[in-house]
Structure 1
C-alpha cells in the first residue's frame, strides 16, 4: 500500500545546529510517515568540521548545501533567505524545522513562512533579554514565525506565554543537545583528546571565546588574556581558537605573549567529539558560548560564562554555570573549583530522550488529520 509521507526539511547551519537536529532526525526516521531532507545552509563554512559532524552524528549527506558562507548579519540572512526560498519552490515540504538562533534559522523560517510552509522552532523560548545580542533578535523573530515551538526548559515556556504565544503551539520536550551528548558519551570518553596535548585529567581548564563583546574590544580582550595568564599559574589552559578570536588577538598584538606562555595551549577549532573529550575531563570551562553552558551542566563541570546575561538561566539556577566578568574571573574560578565535588541537579527532561518527544509531538500534530 502506498503511504503518503509528510516531507520535512531540517535546517542546519552552525555546529550547535547539527548537534540539536541529529536526535530529531534519528527519532523521525523511525516514523514511516515522514520523508526527511537535511538542508545545510553552509553558514558553518569550514568544510572539514562540517563533514566530521555529519559523520560523528551519523547524519546522511544533506539534500542541498546553500553555501551561504561567512559575512555580515545582513549578508548571511539575505543569502540564506534567497537561496532557501529557491529550494522551497523546487521542493516544497509540509514542515520546516529550524533549530537555535543563528542567522540561517531566522532566514529559513522567514522564507518558509512567506511561502505558507509551517515552521517548527527547536529550542524555542530562550531569552537573554539583551537586545544588543543579534541572537536575541533571531530567537524572538523565529518564535513569532513558528506554529510549533519545542522548548528545552520550563522558563522558555514561561517566556513564550508572557509574549502571548498560544500555549497549544508550545511543547516542552527537553534538550536535544543533551541527547547527542548522552548518546556519544562513551565515544567521547574513549577519545582521550587531553592525552594528545600532554594534559593531565582534571588538572586543566578549557577556554572558548568568540563573541564580539569579548573579542572585538581590545581593552577587554587584553583583560581576558591577562586573567588567563594568571589562572595558568595554577591550572593549565587549553584554548581552541575561533577564527574571529585569532584575528582579533593578532590585530591587538596579543598572540605572541600567549604563544610564549608554555602553560597555555592554543589549538585550531576542534571537532565535536575531540572538544567534548577535553571538556569531559577538565577542571572547569571558561566560555562565552551558549551550548557549552548546557553540556557542562549535564556533566557536572564548573562553567564560567564571560557574559553579563544568558539565554539559558536554568544552567545558573540549577546547573554549574556562573556569569563572570574578566576582573571577577580569577575569584570565581577558585570558588568554582571549591564547589566542584558538589554535583548539581540536571534540569528536567535533559535525559537523552528529547528527540523522541519531538517525534511523538509531531506525530500528534501533523498526522492527526
Structure 2
C-alpha cells in the first residue's frame, strides 16, 4: 500500500559527527583521536563525540564523567557554535545550488526535495553523491545521505551507510525495506516505545505492519495512526523551506545539585529571562509553558500549563514556571531546570494537513532514483 500522491525524490543529508569533525578539521592535532565536544568539568554533558570516541560507547547527552570512564584517553573540547553555524551556512549554499526546497532540521542535517531541481538531473542518487563530494571538497567534512520517496524513509536511509556513505531506497523496494527494518530504526520510535513494542511481539516493520489501525491506536494513542501509515510507506509531509518553529526553550545545568525549591527561584528567573529574549528575537508568543526537571539520578520530569492567551513577557513566563515548580514535591535533588514555550502563535501560518488516501499502485520501475 502506497499513497496515490505523486512520488517525490527526497534526499536527507546528515553530516558525520559534525561538531567533532569541525573541531578535528580546525585542529589537526585532534585528527584520529577520541574527542568529545562539551562535557568538560564534573557536571558537563557531551554535545557530540567523534567516531573514534564512539567506539568506546561515548555519545551525545552523556555525562562527561561517564564518558571519561568509558574512554580514559578522551579529549574534551569546548563548543564553538559560531564556527559550526559558519560551516553549516556554507553547506546550505551548496544545497541551494540544486534546489530551493531545503528544510534544515539542525546545523548538521536537512531535507532536500530534488523532484524538480536546478541542475536538470533525473537521478536523485547522483545529486546526493555530487552534493557529498562538493561538501568534502569545499569544507573538508564528510556527509551521509538517504534517498527515497519521502522524508521518513530518506532519514532512516541516511543512517544505513554512515559515515561517508549513502543509501537509496527505490520506490519498488520501499515496502520490503520497511518490513525488514528493526523497529528501533523507525524514526519516531524512541527507547521507551521500542521496549513497549518488544513486549507486544513487535520487533520488525513486518510485525508492526501486521497490527491493525485499531490495535495500534489502542496501544500507542495518537502515535498509532502514524506507525500504521509509515510502515506502509505513507508519509506525505512536504519539504518546507520555511520551517515554522513549534516551541522555544532554555535550560541550565547546575554546578551543584539543588535540593530546595527556594534555591531554584533565582535560577528560574535567569532561564525565564533567556526564554523571553528568544521569544522577542523570534517575534513569537505561546500559550503552553513547560517546566523541565532533571534530577540527580538523571530521571526526567516535565510539568505543563496551558494559558488561555499568548504570552511572551518574562514575568508571566516566570510566574507560570514557579507555579509548576510548586505543583508537587520534588522527588530528588535537581541538576537541571528548563523552561519551554509551545503552542506558539505561528500555528495559523501552517498549511492544512494533507489528506492521505490509500490504494494499491503499480510502481513505476523507470522512475529514476
Q: TM-score, normalising length from structure 1?
A: 0.29
Q: Whose helix proportion is higher, 1 or 2?
A: 1
Give TM-score, length-normalised by structure 2.
Answer: 0.29
